[in-house]
Amino acid sequence: MKTFSPVSATELTDNNHTYLIYANPGMGKTYALGYLPGKTLVIDIDGSSSTLKKHPNAENIFVHKINSSNVWDEWVAFVSDVVRSPEKYEAYDNIAVDNISELFRSALSDLGTKGKNDGVPNQGDYQKSDFVLLRSLRAFNNLKTRKVLTAWETTDQYTSPDGQSFTRSMPDIRSKILNNFLGLVDVAARLVVTKDENGKEKRGFILQPTQSVYAKNRLDDRKGCLVHELIKESDADV
């Protein structure tokens, strides 16, 4: 059992935070992982890691692919290994999971296939998937390295305190665990693409919430940043 050993807040490290970036498919979430400072391990769930081969930082990116036909068993084995051997993963500056939305869907489908309901997941499968996804995030948060998760984007109807209704962009995570999941990350950033006056595309992150965008940033006061500036230089520590 771990003994009671508090440390001063001034001694807390700044590079062990957990980030969630989200956007619609094809917006560049996976490619954005290549800009993380230092050495990055990408856990490829949705098969999109091939885009990293052409990244200018490709030599510092390492990929572990989860077998889409056996997602549940492979994911549980992976998380168990993280718990047993954290030092193996802490050798990387960043651990990225790409992506959480597909992880839930594919794990649920896998459970349904292995069940007794003609391939259709039952209510217990949903609860099991919810539990394991949250437990996985808690296990990652114990790692002494930076964690970055990706997710697809969805929308919901948000009602402001004054009664106005807005369509809000948010991470595509099951509603029953959404608040719990988002409460366990330090930054939730929406990836957006804009064009400058010359028509050149620029990719960046929204870091502060609006009535139409879910975001959070409890690390600093930035409202947004370019894709390659998500991790501040003072926090990189590489």
Distance CA 230, CA 236 (A): 10
**Strand partners of residue 3:** none
Q: Which two tokens stand for residue 235?
A: 């926090």
In the chain, DSSP finds a helix count (H) and a strand count (E) of: 7, 11
The boundaries of the domain holding residue 149 are 14-184
3-state helix, strand, coil in the chain (%, to 5): 40, 25, 35
Give me the amino acid identity at 108.
L
The residue whose two tokens read 């489908």 is 109
What tens-digit pLDDT sequence spans the chain (238 residues)? 667 878 888 777 667 899 999 999 999 999 999 999 999 999 999 999 999 999 999 999 999 999 888 899 999 999 999 999 999 999 999 999 999 999 999 999 999 988 887 778 888 999 999 999 999 999 999 999 999 999 999 998 888 788 888 899 999 999 999 999 999 999 999 999 998 888 888 999 999 999 899 999 999 999 999 999 999 765 665 5
Residue 223 lies in a domain: no
Residue 114 lies in a domain: yes
* Helices 123-141, 71-84: inter-axial angle, 10-degree rounding: 30
Residue 93 lies in a domain: yes
pTM of the model: 0.91
**Strand partners of residue 19:** 148, 187
Residue 56 lies in a domain: yes
Residue 224 lies in a domain: no
Number of domains in the chain: 1
Residue 205 lies in a domain: no
- What CATH number corresponds to the domain at position 145? 3.40.50
Residue 150 lies in a domain: yes
Residue 197 lies in a domain: no
